[in-house]
Amino acid sequence: MTSVKQTGESDRQLLKRYHEGGDPAARELLVERHLPLVRSLARRYAGRGEALEDIEQVGAIGLIKAIDRYELSREVALTTYATPNVVGEIKRHFRDKGWAIRVPRALQELNGKMGPTIERLTSRLGRSPSIAEIAAEFQTSTEQVLEALEAGSAYAPLSLSAGPSGDDELDPMETIGSDDAEYDRTEDRASLEPALAALPEREREILRMRFEDGLTQTQIAERVGISQMHVSRLIRRSLERMRTQLT
């Protein structure tokens, strides 16, 4: 078998062979050569409810699409062109298939509209809307609204915008109170503090705003620039993660 590294051909030469000569072997060589890039990008999205191998496979589809769509007139390197394609494919996969359980499409759609509608109603009413008010806005039943909200819980919440490592940097928040000598055993039992440092910075900040500053989810959403429902999901996910880490 020909080793990819031993072909001696550059990406550009292989792309020419594939696009101008229709040589499928050249395409295969390009895919094989750039699979480490796919693996590296896929690792960023590991631990979010999908097996790494599955994410790699999805990323590989993005790579193949990039190779197929590459225009030889471009002066850009294949890796530069392929990276956003691979990441885009992975993100699409999570967006479309990130439901932990099978949820009817109608409920998925209603859930998708829920966040903006709740925000709009909150702004209009000057307070968080009731279930009945949300139902009236959608011209549906309160049961449907509750089911759609619950359908959102079936979705594996993803912080796709969070970087793979940059968010793990330490910040002063994580040291607050951690050296309190008066902490006794029972207080330790209820403390989530030791796991706080492992959270991405944005999520630590959201927890601080909610539980330290006492801001409402709506206020946090305004400050951070995300929806209230997203704030809710991030808080839940963070607390669950911290608890899992401590048990």
Partner 1 sequence: MPSDRIELTAPVGQAWEAVIRMVLGGIADRLDLGFDQLDDLQLAVERLLAEGDPQNPITLSFEIHDNGVRTRIGPLRDAALAEALQGPEPPPGVLTLPRILSTVVDSYGVEEVADGKLVVRLEKLVRTQ
Q: Which is nearer to partner 1, 35 or 224 (CB)?
A: 224
Which of 138, 142, 149, 137 minimizes the C-alpha distance to 107? 149
- Would the CA dihedral through 44, 109, 101, 154 be positive or negative? positive
Q: Which is nearer to partner 1, 80 or 130 (CB)?
A: 130
CA distance 228 to 197: 24
DSSP code, position 211 = I
Q: Per CB under 8 A, does 139 bind partner 1?
A: no
Nearer to partner 1, 22 or 214 (CB): 214
Contact criterion met (CB below 8 Å) for 192 and 239: yes
Does an H or E element contain 30, and which?
Answer: helix 24-43
Number of residues lying near partner 1 (CB under 8 A) = 43
243 binds partner 1 (CB under 8 A): yes
Q: Does position 111 bind partner 1 by CB under 8 A?
A: no
Candidates 7, 79, 108, 142; binder of partner 1 (CB under 8 A) is: 142
The residue within the footprint of partner 1, chosen from 192, 198, 224, 226 (CB under 8 A), is 192
Rg, Å, the chain Cα set: 23
**How many CA atoms, within 13 angstroms, populate the side-chain half-sphere of residue 10?**
5
What is the binding site for partner 1 (CB under 8 A)? 118, 127-132, 134, 142, 146-147, 149-150, 153-154, 176-177, 180, 185-187, 189-193, 196, 207, 210-212, 214, 216-218, 228, 232, 235-236, 239-240, 242-243
